[in-house]
């Protein structure tokens, strides 16, 4: 098995140490020669890089390790770029969440006006990394978690159609882990699913075991009563906001009891409820800064101070496993069945070919081969048509520098009640994003 060389872009991300630790623990199925971290912010990356260096030296000194802010050094001679950047950091996430809320609209990282604002910031950041990778390692694959994945995926489809990028999300697999727990199965990998939608906007239509036995009725019975409120492996899902999200899946499910919904649909289907239950002065960004960010950086500093990572551990859950599974599938042609964000091209029969959709794919060394999910019902199709139009308008607005199109995108979002509210939010977001967005006219 060829030893792989990896660059993690967004080296200072709270998710980086978990992925590094998981890579070091998966050498048998995914052997590694080198891990490099890359970030455009040296101070942010420094503690994470220094802690990972100690951790790897103790876990596996054969893995070459370095961290840098120099793109040529980072992207030269690698097989994979695992990317998770956040352009504007949590400070801008806070703005994405608080500005819409000030206008009585859902304030969320990837949905509604907040997601649109984040999309306008992420597009150039992700394209820059993709271009570095294509320049310095033209055969490498970019596996991209950077959000908002739906908008980023549409932007890379439009602007870099031939590039080797796969956009991914860990929400469905986190929910599938909950399915496995509800069913008393050891792992989500014991399940075979059919699912369709856009990113953070989809539905399961079938869940079976490996023998083909239908497990939907047992899941539906649970979700009808409790949503996805079941003890989960991911530590941040114990936070009050995630607990509320998992409970709310019950009401989302009620709209179409034939399927099982993605948790994020609550922002589109119950926006009034979400606003009423949000604290405009303390949003999820504040919760994350006070918990995950603080914990990861404190632990990094502790490891550096002690000079050892023995007796400590960074959280590495489904998020880390999923991206390593994907790299493995490509590197070693495993043909694993995975949910990915890909061009539709008929996978959903009655939906636009040029939409970026989230569907199961078989993954091998040529990339993902989407499976056909057939024809979807009017309710889902209507919702998806509206949402995909929002995502396409954002990308058009970015490309053309068009105020008009960004206003249309905000107005079309199901989370926004009117064009006038959309415009007021947009004008505030333009002000907050001066440093990041292209000039709009």
Ligand X SMILES: NC(=O)c1ccc[n+]([C@@H]2O[C@H](COP(=O)([O-])OP(=O)(O)OC[C@H]3O[C@@H](n4cnc5c(N)ncnc54)[C@H](O)[C@@H]3O)[C@@H](O)[C@H]2O)c1
Ligand Y SMILES: O=P(O)(O)OC[C@H]1O[C@H](O[C@H]2[C@H](O)[C@@H](O)[C@@H](O)O[C@@H]2CO)[C@H](O)[C@@H](O)[C@@H]1O
Q: Does position 87 bind ligand X by CB under 6 A?
A: yes
Q: Does the annotation count 181 as an active-site position?
A: no
Q: Does position 176 bind ligand Y by CB under 6 A?
A: no
* Helical H segments across 32-166, by residue range: 42-59, 71-75, 89-102, 112-136, 149-159
Distance CA(40)–CA(11), nearest Å, equals: 9
Among 66, 76, 208, 236, binds ligand Y (CB under 6 A): 236
Q: Is 103 part of any known ligand binding site? A: no
Collapsing DSSP to helix, strand or coil, 313 comes out as coil
Q: Which of 79, 170, 325, 428 is catalytic?
A: 170
Among 136, 141, 145, 204, binds ligand X (CB under 6 A): 145
Among 25, 31, 34, 44, binds ligand X (CB under 6 A): 44
Helix (H) or strand (E) holding 7: strand 4-9
Interface with ligand Y in residues 36-95 (CB under 6 A): none
Distance CA(175)–CA(381), nearest Å, equals: 22
Interface with Mn ion in residues 361-400 (CB under 5 A): none
Name the binder of 174 from ligand X, ligand Y, Mn ion, none, CB < 5-8 A by kind: ligand Y
Q: Which of 118, 264, 267, 398 is catalytic?
A: 264
- To Mn ion, the closest distance from the beta carbon of 319 in angstroms equals 9
Collapsing DSSP to helix, strand or coil, 66 comes out as strand
Task: Identify the CA nearest to 254 among candidates 220, 283, 277, 230.
Answer: 220
Quick one: 36 or 84, whose CB is closer to ligand X? 84
* CB contact set of 210 (below 8 Å; sequence gap of 6+): 190, 192
Name the binder of 413 from ligand Y, ligand X, Mn ion, none, CB < 5-8 A by kind: none
Check residue 374 and report its DSSP letter.
Answer: B
Q: Does position 326 bind ligand Y by CB under 6 A?
A: no
Q: Is 361 part of any known ligand binding site? A: no
CA distances from 418 to 388, 413, 421 (A): 18, 10, 5
Question: What percentage of the chain's residues is helix, strand, coil (to nearest 5)?
Answer: 50, 15, 30
Among 117, 130, 143, 149, binds ligand X (CB under 6 A): 149
- To ligand X, the closest distance from the beta carbon of 293 in angstroms equals 6
Angle, alpha carbons 47-52-57 (nearest 5°): 135
Q: Cα-flanking dihedrals φ and ψ of residue 203, to 5°?
A: -140, 140
Q: Is 284 part of any known ligand binding site? A: yes
Name the binder of 351 from ligand X, ligand Y, Mn ion, none, CB < 5-8 A by kind: none
Q: Does position 169 bind ligand Y by CB under 6 A?
A: yes
Q: Does the annotation count 398 as an active-site position?
A: no
If one counts every other C-beta atom within 10 angstroms of the C-beta of residue 340, the result is 21
Binding-residue pattern over the window 154 to 183 for ligand X, x denoting contact by CB under 6 A: --------------xxxx------------
52-60, 150-158, 168-176, 337-345 -> range binding Mn ion (CB under 5 A): 168-176
- To ligand Y, the closest distance from the beta carbon of 52 in angstroms equals 18
CA distances from 12 to 3, 39, 69, 95, 249 (A): 24, 6, 11, 21, 32
Which residues are the active-site residues?
Answer: 170, 264
Interacting residues with ligand Y (CB under 6 A):
109-110, 147, 169-171, 174, 234, 236, 284, 288, 317-319
Interacting residues with ligand X (CB under 6 A):
9-10, 12-15, 39-41, 44-45, 84-87, 89-90, 125, 128, 145-147, 149, 168-171, 319
């Amino acid at each position: 098995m060829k030893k792989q060389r990896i660059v993690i872009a967004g080296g200072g991300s709270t998710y980086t140490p978990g992925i590094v630790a998981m890579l070091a623990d998966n050498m048998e199925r995914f052997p590694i020669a080198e891990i490099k971290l890359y970030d455009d912010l040296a101070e942010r990356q420094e503690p994470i890089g220094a802690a990972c260096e100690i951790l790897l030296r103790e876990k596996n000194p054969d893995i070459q390790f370095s961290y840098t802010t120099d793109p040529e050094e980072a992207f030269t001679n690698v097989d994979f770029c695992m990317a998770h950047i956040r352009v504007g950091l949590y400070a801008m996430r806070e703005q994405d969440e608080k500005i819409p809320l000030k206008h009585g609209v859902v304030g969320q990282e990837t949905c509604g006006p907040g997601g649109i604002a984040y999309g306008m910031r992420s597009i150039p950041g992700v394209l820059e990394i993709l271009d570095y990778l294509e320049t310095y390692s033209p055969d490498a694959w970019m596996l991209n978690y950077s959000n908002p994945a739906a908008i980023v995926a549409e932007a890379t489809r439009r602007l870099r159609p031939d590039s080797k990028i796969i956009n991914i999300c860990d929400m469905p697999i986190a929910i599938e882990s909950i399915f496995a727990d509800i069913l008393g199965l050891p792992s989500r990998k014991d399940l075979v699913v059919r699912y369709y939608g856009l990113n953070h906007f989809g539905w399961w239509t079938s869940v079976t075991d490996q023998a083909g036995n239908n497990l939907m009725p047992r899941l539906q019975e649970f979700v009808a009563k409790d949503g996805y409120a079941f003890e989960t492996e991911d530590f941040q899902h114990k936070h009050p906001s995630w607990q509320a999200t998992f409970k709310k899946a019950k009401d989302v499910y009620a709209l179409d009891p034939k399927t099982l919904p993605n948790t994020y649909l609550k922002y589109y289907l119950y926006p009034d409820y979400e606003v009423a239950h949000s604290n405009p002065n303390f949003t999820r960004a504040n919760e994350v800064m006070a918990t995950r960010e603080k914990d990861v950086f404190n632990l990094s500093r502790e490891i550096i101070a002690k000079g050892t990572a023995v007796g400590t551990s960074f959280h590495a859950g489904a998020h880390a496993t999923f991206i390593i599974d994907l790299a493995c599938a490509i590197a070693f042609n495993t043909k694993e069945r995975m949910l990915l964000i890909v061009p539709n091209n008929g996978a959903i029969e009655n939906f636009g070919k040029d939409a970026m959709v989230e569907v199961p794919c078989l993954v091998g060394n040529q990339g993902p081969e989407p499976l056909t999910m057939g024809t979807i019902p009017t309710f889902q199709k209507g919702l998806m048509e509206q949402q995909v139009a929002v995502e396409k308008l954002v990308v058009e607005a970015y490309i053309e520098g068009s105020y008009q199109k960004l206003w249309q995108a905000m107005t079309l979002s199901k989370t926004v009640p009117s064009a006038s509210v959309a415009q007021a939010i947009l004008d505030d977001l333009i002000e907050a994003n001066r440093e990041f967005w292209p000039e709009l006219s």
